[in-house]
Amino acid sequence: MSTPEKTRYTAEELAEFKQLILQKLEEAEKEYHRLKSTLDDLVAASEDQYRTGEYLGNEYSEKVQLERLLQHTVKYIDALKRALIRIENGTYGICKVTGKLIPKERLLAVPVAETLVEVKERRPK
């Protein structure tokens, strides 16, 4: 007789995921503030250089790169917060497409995962 397929994670497992996500969230928020501070400093320096006629294209390129990193970090923070909501709702770890349980290994590697790897790979990029 085979055991039924697991459909949800236990409260203990969800608590483990929550700790991991809270840790990732703290790290991401620190990274956001570091990037924001660097960007603010760069913008201030660029404005001074622009006023004195010393504006260089390198600062613009660095500014664009920092803005992209900031956007990526904000999206990651939002995804982590949504993962915490799914934990509270009891839906964390359930593929939003198939309804099957996402393997624990995947969630430990990518705590914001909302789908099985197979589903993600089938999606157009």
Taking only the tens place, the pLDDT of each residue in 43-98 is 887 665 554 455 556 666 888 899 999 999 999 999 999 999 999 999 999 999 99
pTM: 0.83
Closest CA to 45 of 58, 26, 27, 32: 58
Closest CA to 100 of 83, 89, 113: 113
Q: Which residues contact residue 94 at a Cβ distance below 8 angstroms, ignoring those fewer than 6 apart?
A: 7, 8, 100, 101, 102
List the chain domain ranges: 11-92
